[in-house]
Structure 1
């Protein structure tokens, strides 16, 4: 391809063959003539190629040089006059294609292509110089080619600028997600954009270093640690804990829990998955056990007080127990006392008191009470626990109770009848002296045979004949005196043969 920036007329001919019209680059205007043209080749003053002709000038016809005469040489015929055989390529192409019309083509400068090369006169040396100086055929790019080259040039320029921007904004960073590092390139401006590009979502229990929103530079390292739920039981207390550590040992260090000497339900090297795990931790504690008058201090991670006591070398026997519940969790610095218990059971029968119920009786004088039914106490059998703690006897503790015999309620009649008026003819006698002689002044007195009773020792028939109820010894003293006066009015002092004379003393 020619390096000339202009197209040859051969290209124009191909345009006509393709589109059926003659190509006229500057049809609306006069042909451009900014370049010099050359006169027909000859031996002019300008040398082999002739005199230069500027646009708008008429070329001068060069003088034909006379032939050089050499003595003795045969006569050389004169060369025929120079004929311009140059024919533009587009004319030949137009003729071949049968163009419908011809167009005046502008003459391009230094266009020296054609079917025949110019004949140069003036000798062999001149011909060689003419061949050496003759311009090479030049081909101009097609118009479509120019149109295609222009966008390509713009794209190349854009890509060159974009490459510069690409290099300026691209960052090489290291991203470590849960201990898995990888190197990557990113256009993110800060940590938040980088996480979004990588599809990484972080929550309240996750950690990101540096913090989200921190600006990124090439060479930075970003670390993401996801939180893991742990159902932790630490020294008997349950917790819902979170950790970003990937192993049990790392989680304990994160929480500040000392693992030396502690009981762990999972090994320290066990990995913690994203779903978490259940972990029971019992740290080592100092517990003092007081038993048989001697203290014993042990370091233990026991789960219960009973286990700690056993680790101290103390054995619980029979009813032995401890000062704190044996199934409770032993605390650091706690003192546990072992209680040695001895003893047994004792069964006792105890009396149950009866209940007295009083009933009003209008047939009895006021102030008079008569026992209608005597009461009887009941019996209850009670079982007690007797024990001694560390040699000290304790108060008996009731274990069981059962009623052997129920108590019987005592029924008492209470008189509500008003006292009778005095008995004429018997009020002035010494009734108190008579009562003292008969019964010693006791209203409830009763002789050994059970026939006589009361202050005046009435028999049952005499008492009832005087209007009394029940037994005389159960009646009030006032009623007994009233019945005795009525008896005196009826029979005098005869009813009391031994003590009747006391009435008049």
Structure 2
């Protein structure tokens, strides 16, 4: 019996040692294991971990971060029970502001917070993406146009406009201004808008106009010995031709800025007038005639309408010269002028002298000396 009594204390000691070891291990385990809140790009989970710092936690969770990424607290920070570790991946934001493109990196998850964090002013601006839109890890491409004060001059009106349009083309679209194929803009349509810019639109039209005009006929004089000197005869009556001309008329804002002849067509050819001029010498005058005057004026000739004849022949110009060799009020040839007692050039003589010589010629040969205008007498 003694041996049994003496064995009990030893057994109790052994059991106590085992219990102590178990209790000690449990205390160590409970102190090493901890619950951590992990937030990655806004998605939150709770994890149990034996890791003592942020770097180990990230490694255990296979989370790789780069220089631009946000980790809070820092990767070398210690963590304890109930701590929160936040990871935000940096993502590219390709932003075009008023036509100027830039790429930013941000760890913000929405457009509005990213613009605020980047210091981009967007009050009153027009955005191509919703302000609440999420920016995923692949990034986001968007544009932003700020309000600008511009002046639009078109269709006779000058209007000051505050707009968020990005370009001149966008402005015209917003204002429902259509630009024709010939119209001219003071700015290239792709020009970015800026404060104080003036955009002018000139309306250009182009039309074809047909005009009908006359083609002046020519006069050809031929000599004939069948007529006396100073006499003439119209063999072929002249007639003006008809010509149609097509003009391209360009107008800018209603005013003609260019005329261009694009086609002509003679629909009726002119007829050249042919006049025979006598070269036959006249018989000598009677001795009763005036040697200096070449004949006498007055008589039947004095009562005729010499002013009408002069108007028809020369436009009433005593100094008129026809390159074909006819001069003065009544278009004398030099030989005819001399045959009626004239000297020098008829165009140099006074109007009264020319009329006197014309009356002498009429008394000699009649109104036929002026085959076209003689009927005006």
TM-score normalised according to structure 2 size: 0.46
* Greater relative contact order (Cα < 8 A, sep 6+): 2
**Larger Rg belongs to:** 1
TM-score normalised according to structure 1 size: 0.36
More strand by share: 2
